[in-house]
């Protein structure tokens, strides 16, 4: 009799326990899923950051900067936010203090062209800025930009020597691997190379001795810029080192017609009485 009563009671208790357990498990799963689905996303702002490590004096070029989401937690007003400036507007600016990769760029860390102290921020410590006049042809038709590296070449004429020789022309490299820090035009009172009276000027970063050489080269003759490859290492001849000794290129090295040794020989005729004799040739 007792056994008949206990079996239904045990079955009922087991069913109730199972139902309570199942309800508790479902409730825990529901609470675990709700926060994940309804949790609000963290607020962010898009700020300008350095795409790679940038040293002081770096002229910003394409690829140096990028936009990156940044947690909107007391973002300093000095940070450059998306909508304040475009990346193109900041190209050509100079980095004032070192920037690590991914570090936000602040307005105070950039000096833009035209700002006070722009050239001073561009210069490497110990170097000088010197502007030289060049035309479109001698500056690679305007294809040289700030940040490029060039060789400075002077072409000049040498006057007649004391022996009555003809004028000679020569070309030589004055400085190598010089960094261009500015390209621009200026008005001159005496006019320029074109009808508008404008002369293109290039501002170079040179050593103190190099500045003296460039100043003298502008008085000797025509200056030309020879663009170097981007693969040129920046630490060999970086503006603080003067030009490597190179042989001078003379006009006869370019044109054999100017070499007096290649001129046709003349004939000397000697008159003796009524007859003429061939006296040989003369160079």
- For the cut 80, the answer to whether the pLDDT of residue 249 exceeds it is no
Radius of gyration (C-alpha) of the chain in whole angstroms: 39
Q: How far apart are CA 229 and CA 178, in angstroms?
A: 12
DSSP letter (8 states) at residue 262: G
Q: What is the mean pLDDT of residues 235-264?
A: 60
Q: How far apart are the first and last CA of the chain?
A: 149
Identify which has the larger pLDDT, 25 or 216: 216
Q: What angle do CA 206, 54, 232 make, to 5 degrees?
A: 50
Report d(CA 205, CA 215) in Å as an integer.
13
Give Cα separations from 161 to 167, 168, 259 (angstroms): 8, 9, 16
pLDDT at 50: 92
Q: What is the DSSP string of 2-57?
A: HHHHHHHHHHHHHHHHHHHHHHHHHHHHHHHHHHHHHPPPPPEEEEEEESS-B-TT
Answer for the pair 164, 182: CB distance below 8 angstroms, yes or no.
Answer: no
What is the helix (H) or strand (E) element at residue 133, kind and residue range? strand 128-134
Q: Is the model more confident about 38 or about 186?
A: 38
- Please check the confidence at residue 282 and state whether its pLDDT lies above 50: no
Note the pLDDT tens digit of each residue in 179-227.
888 776 532 333 344 445 454 788 899 999 999 999 998 888 888 888 8
pLDDT for 32 equals 62
Contact 135/214 with Cβ under 8 angstroms?
no
Do 213 and 207 touch, CB atoms closer than 8 A?
no
* 78-137: pLDDT as tens digits: 888 888 888 888 888 888 889 999 999 988 888 887 777 777 877 888 888 888 888 766
Higher pLDDT, 174 or 44: 174
pLDDT, residue 138, reads 64
Tokens at 142, concatenated: 């305007």
Buried (b) or exposed (e) across 224-262, using 16+ Cβ within 10 A?
Answer: bbeebeeeeeeeebbbbbebeeeeeebbbeeeeeeeeee
For 150-192, what is each residue's pLDDT tens digit? 999 988 887 665 545 567 788 888 899 998 887 765 323 333 4
Least confident of 79-93, 137-151, 219-233, 234-248: 234-248
Identify the weakest region by mean pLDDT among 10-14, 17-21, 224-228, 234-238: 234-238
Distance CA 249, CA 260 (A): 17
> Tokens 């722009």 — which residue?
118
Please check the confidence at residue 244 and state whether its pLDDT lies above 70: no
Average pLDDT over residues 38-64: 82
The model carries a pTM of 0.54
Which DSSP state fits 264?
P
Q: CA 104, CA 93: separation in Å to the nearest integer?
A: 15
Report the alpha-carbon distance of residue 191 to residue 278 in Å, rounded.
58
């Amino acid at each position: 009799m007792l056994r008949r009563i206990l079996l239904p009671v045990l079955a009922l208790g087991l069913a109730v326990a199972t139902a309570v357990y199942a309800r508790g498990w479902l409730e825990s799963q529901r609470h675990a899923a709700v926060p994940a689905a309804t949790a609000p996303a963290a607020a962010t702002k898009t700020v300008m950051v350095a795409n790679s490590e940038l040293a002081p004096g770096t002229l910003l070029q394409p690829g140096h900067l990028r936009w990156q989401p940044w947690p909107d937690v007391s973002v300093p007003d000095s940070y450059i936010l998306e909508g304040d400036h475009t990346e193109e507007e900041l190209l050509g600016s100079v980095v004032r203090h070192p920037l690590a990769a991914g570090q936000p760029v602040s307005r105070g860390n950039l000096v833009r062209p035209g700002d006070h102290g722009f050239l001073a921020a561009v210069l490497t410590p110990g170097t000088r800025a010197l502007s030289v006049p060049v035309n479109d042809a001698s500056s690679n038709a305007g294809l040289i930009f700030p940040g490029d590296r060039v060789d400075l070449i002077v072409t000049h004429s040498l006057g007649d020597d004391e022996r009555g020789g003809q004028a000679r022309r020569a070309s030589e490299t004055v400085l190598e691997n010089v960094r261009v820090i500015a390209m621009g035009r200026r008005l001159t009172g005496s006019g320029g190379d074109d009808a508008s009276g404008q002369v293109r000027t290039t501002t170079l970063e040179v050593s103190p001795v190099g500045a003296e050489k460039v100043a003298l080269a502008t008085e000797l003759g025509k200056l030309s810029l020879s663009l170097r490859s981007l693969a040129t290492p920046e630490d060999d001849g970086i503006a603080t080192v003067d030009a490597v000794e190179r042989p001078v290129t003379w006009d006869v090295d370019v044109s054999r017609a100017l070499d007096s040794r290649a001129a046709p020989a003349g004939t000397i005729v000697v008159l003796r009485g009524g007859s003429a004799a061939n006296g040989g040739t003369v160079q």
